Amino acid sequence: MNTNTLAIRVDGENLNHHLWNNNGTWFVHYTVYPTAITKQRVRCSLKTKCVEEARRRRDELFRRLQVVEPVRRSPAAYAIAA
């Protein structure tokens, strides 16, 4: 069975790693590798204007993604529910 490989590099000095603010709303971005030769950049809204809440939602998302998931999931499947 094929699985996605999650690629996350964390900068311990940057509390906002993988986050960016787009006109007041916080988004998360990261990369998954469905196969050894392809990659998929995932960007999704965290649906919050609060940076502290965005950090909590990002951390929860990354905890969930540590579990092996099927390749056929779309980027929307990785989104955070508000």
Residue where the block lists tokens 């590798």: 33
8: pLDDT strictly greater than 80? no
How many CB atoms lie under 10 A from the CB of residue 71? 15
Average pLDDT over residues 13-21: 91
What span, in angstroms and rounded, lies between the C-alpha atoms of 9 and 65? 14
Indicate if the pLDDT at residue 9 is higher than 90.
no
pLDDT of residue 33: 84
At 27-72, the pLDDT tens digits run 999 888 888 889 889 999 999 999 999 999 999 998 888 754 444 4
Mean pLDDT of the region 73-81: 53
What local confidence, expressed as pLDDT, does residue 81 receive? 54
Cβ atoms within 10 Å of 81's Cβ, excluding its own: 5
